[in-house]
Structure 1
Amino acid sequence: MIYIVIPVHNRRHYTLGCLACLSRQTVTAQQVIVVDDGSTDGTSEQIRTNFPDTTVLTGDGSLWWAGATNLGIRYVIQTFSLNDDDFILTLNDDTKVDPDYLASLSMAYQAHKPCIVGSVSVDVNSPQRLLYAGTGLNLRMPNIEDWANTRFKNSYTLLKTTSPYLVSDSLPGRGLFIPRAVFNTIGYFDDLRFRHHMADLDFSIRARQAGFPLVVSSFSVVYEYADATGVNMNQPMPLGQFVKALSAIKSPINYRTRYHFAVKHASLPYIYFAVDMLRILLGYLRRQLKAVAYQNK
């Protein structure tokens, strides 16, 4: 059985679209658990009407990604008698998947077990644009190599012709196929230090260090609404917005989150954190200067 945990908040259109994809899977041994963290747009009501077999758990809006995901996982573990053939799949609602998605994840696991299987991510509006295909991680200095860009030039076609599986240093939470044994070994997502961003990064690193390889399945594809998530740090922004992003929970540059990651995982945590924040600041300045130069042309 595959238990699919999806945290949601006020994105009814995306949520219903994701659930529709799951209802068309060739693997029918599945149970979907949606954790609705305080939505006010009628998400829970629509799920119960359109997908009555889906379990809906509710929060008060304070859970964020890690807390909501943990709530769903705890529900599964406490409610069902899981065995070695059962899995928990974490999935974001701003995604679509093909009908053979669950089958491809299961096949990848059988080829590499025991392991955690991660999904390839592509742009839902441009499916050949590769967004995620594994990472190389440096815990001495803050550098995460994005293989989608460095190895495959953001081309899904190139990835498919290269390798069906990749062994990564970390995995994201959108499309994370986890056997029960992982939770027995390392516990849940760290929702105290990483409420939203980097909870999946921390979890996958802990799992790898505990002996579970992180395998990216090239044919397990998540179609991602790339513009629907968090703060976009690839675009220029006013200084005030940048300063707010440094402490916003949904921001990937939240300094508390990055500090906790450095302390927990880096070999030289304080140097790692200082260099990381300097890199973020210089990146912001570089984007602003490019924007000014472009406007002055």
Structure 2
Amino acid sequence: MIFIVIPVHNRKHLTRRCLACLTRQTISRITIVVVNDGSTDGTDEMIRTEFPDVVVLPGDGTLWWTEGTNVGVRYALQNRVADEENFVLTINDDTEVRPDYVASLLATYAQHKPCLAGSVSVDIAKPDSLQYAGMKLNLYSANETYLANAHFGNSYSQLTETTDTIDSDSLPGRGVLIPFEVFEKVGLYDTEHYVHYMADIEFTVRAKRAGYRLVIAPSSIVYEHVEATGLQVNHQLPIRKFWKGLWGRYSPINIPMRYHFAMRHTHTKHLYLVLEVGRIVTGYFLRKLRLI
């Protein structure tokens, strides 16, 4: 059984489109679990009316991505199907997939297990615009190399012409198939230190350290509504908001969150933190000056 876990909050139009894709999968052994974290836009009613087979778990608006996902994972673990392999598939509601998407993830898992099977993502408005295809993370120097740009020129067609398998040092929660045994071995997502961002990265780093490959096949495609993402650290972001983001608990550039990651997972700890924060700050001001 595959339990597809989707935390949602007040994005009914995106949630509807995401669920429509997932209910058309070629794999039948699927249970879709939506954690509705206090939506006030009619999401709950829409799901119950249009997708009556979807399991809806309630939240009060304080779960955010990490605990919302954990709520769904706990439900999955408690409702495992005996005598068959069980998985959690985490995905976000600002994505759409093809009918063979889950089958592709399962095929990747079967070929490379023990592993977590991840996805590439492309811009839904420009399907050849590759957004994510794995990353290399240097745990000494804090250098992050995103392969979509560095190896494939942000071109999905170039990716498919280059390789049929990508090994990554981490995986985002936007389309990753996880066997139950991984949660039993490394635990759930860390809600205490990663409320909304980076919990997926930290979890998959833990999984890799426990001996699981993080594998991506180009055939496992997630079509991403790029405009629906969170805080964008670009030249349009005011300095005041950038500074606030460095300390905001729900920000992707939150320093305390990155401090915990550096202390727990990296080889150089404080040096890693200094280098990473320096990279974030330098990158922001270079964008502000339009130099990158």
TM-score by length of 1: 0.95
Q: Displacement of 1:164 after TM fit?
A: 1.5
1:211-255 per-residue CA deviation (whole Å, 9 max, x = no partner) reads 111101110000001121110113332111111211234421111
Runs of 5+ unmatched residues, structure 2: none
Letter of the structure 2 residue corresponding to residue 272 of structure 1: Y
Match of 2:97 in 1: 97
Secondary structure at 1:98 match in 2? coil
Change (3 A) 1:82 1:44: farther
Change (3 A) 1:82 1:247: farther
Match of 1:175 in 2: 175
Match of 2:218 in 1: 218
State the number of aligned residues. Answer: 292
Secondary structure at 2:76 match in 1? helix
Match of 1:294 in 2: none
1:6-36 per-residue CA deviation (whole Å, 9 max, x = no partner) reads 0001111110100000111111210000001
In 2, Cα distance between the equivalents of 1:243 and 1:123? 29
Q: Displacement of 1:183 after TM fit?
A: 1.1
1:185-207 per-residue CA deviation (whole Å, 9 max, x = no partner) reads 11111111111111111111111
Match of 1:15 in 2: 15
Change (3 A) 1:154 1:83: farther
1:133-190 per-residue CA deviation (whole Å, 9 max, x = no partner) reads 1111101111111000000000000111111211111111110100111111111111
Q: Determine whether 1:136 maps to 2:141.
A: no
In 2, Cα distance between the equivalents of 1:170 and 1:82? 30
Letter of the structure 1 residue corresponding to residue 282 of structure 2: L
Equivalent pair of 1:121/1:133 in contact (CA under 8 Å) = yes
Q: Displacement of 1:84 after TM fit?
A: 5.3
Match of 2:49 in 1: 49
Secondary structure at 2:290 match in 1? helix
Letter of the structure 2 residue corresponding to residue 91 of structure 1: I
Match of 1:229 in 2: 229
Match of 1:251 in 2: 251
Match of 2:118 in 1: 118
Q: Displacement of 1:75 after TM fit?
A: 0.9
1:236-288 per-residue CA deviation (whole Å, 9 max, x = no partner) reads 32111111211234421111211111111111211111121122111222122
Match of 2:78 in 1: 78
Match of 1:24 in 2: 24
In 2, Cα distance between the equivalents of 1:37 and 1:206? 26
Runs of 5+ unmatched residues, structure 1: 292-297
Match of 2:68 in 1: 68
Letter of the structure 2 residue corresponding to residue 159 of structure 1: L
Equivalent pair of 1:84/1:180 in contact (CA under 8 Å) = no
Secondary structure at 1:5 match in 2? strand
1:96-142 per-residue CA deviation (whole Å, 9 max, x = no partner) reads 00010011111111111111000010001000000111111101111
Equivalent pair of 2:235/2:289 in contact (CA under 8 Å) = no
Change (3 A) 1:67 1:82: farther
In 1, Cα distance between the equivalents of 2:273 and 2:58? 35
Letter of the structure 2 residue corresponding to residue 280 of structure 1: I
Secondary structure at 1:181 match in 2? helix
Match of 1:295 in 2: none
Q: CA RMSD in A?
A: 1.4
In 2, Cα distance between the equivalents of 1:186 and 1:67? 16
Match of 1:278 in 2: 278
In 1, Cα distance between the equivalents of 2:52 and 2:196? 28
Bigger mean CA deviation after superposition, 269-278 or 95-104: 269-278
Letter of the structure 2 residue corresponding to residue 31 of structure 1: T
Equivalent pair of 2:235/2:290 in contact (CA under 8 Å) = no
Change (3 A) 1:85 1:79: closer
Secondary structure at 2:32 match in 1? strand
Regions of 4+ moved over 2 Å: 79-84, 247-251
Bigger mean CA deviation after superposition, 277-286 or 111-120: 277-286
Equivalent pair of 2:124/2:225 in contact (CA under 8 Å) = yes
Equivalent pair of 1:246/1:255 in contact (CA under 8 Å) = yes
Q: Displacement of 1:81 after TM fit?
A: 3.6
Equivalent pair of 2:4/2:88 in contact (CA under 8 Å) = yes
In 2, Cα distance between the equivalents of 1:170 and 1:199? 11
Match of 1:240 in 2: 240
In 2, Cα distance between the equivalents of 1:250 and 1:147? 26
Match of 2:267 in 1: 267
Q: Displacement of 1:82 after TM fit?
A: 5.2
